Amino acid sequence: MLLLHYADLKADLAGEVSRVAAFLGIGLDDAGCERVVRESQIDRMREVAAKDDPGLSVIFEGGSKRFFYKGTNGRWRGVLDAEDLALYEDAKRRLLPADCAAWLERGSRG
């Protein structure tokens, strides 16, 4: 099993694409990696989804634009209050080893 973290994908998409290819035993040259990176950009995924899957408009209000929302991290900031954050921190300390919690929050590069 290979775990990927969105923050790592955002920080180094080409590196993560290469890592996935290596894990799967797929030979991927630089041109192939560049193509995967280009097709993996959020605007491109929205464009393809809008053209190739009109069903997203039935399932998600706003269709592909809503499904492939902003492509950013940290949107929860300002939504959770101090009590929510304290509950999270308590659960994190009780349930997760420190290295696991750090990876879940920030990925490998954070």
pLDDT tens by residue, 56-98: 666 666 666 666 666 666 667 788 889 999 999 999 999 999 9
* 5 and 34 part of one domain: yes
What are the CA-CA distances from residue 84 to residues 76, 87, 92, 99, 102 (Å)? Answer: 11, 5, 12, 22, 18
* 35 and 2 part of one domain: yes
* 82 and 57 part of one domain: no
- State the maximum Cα–Cα separation within the chain, in Å, rounded to a whole number: 49
* 54 and 31 part of one domain: no
| Single pTM value for the model | 0.72
Query: What total number of domains does the chain contain?
Result: 3
Domain span at residue 27 reads 1-40
* 68 and 86 part of one domain: no
**CB-count exposure of residue 23 (10 Å: 0-12, 13-18, 19+):** exposed
* 23 and 58 part of one domain: no
* 82 and 98 part of one domain: yes
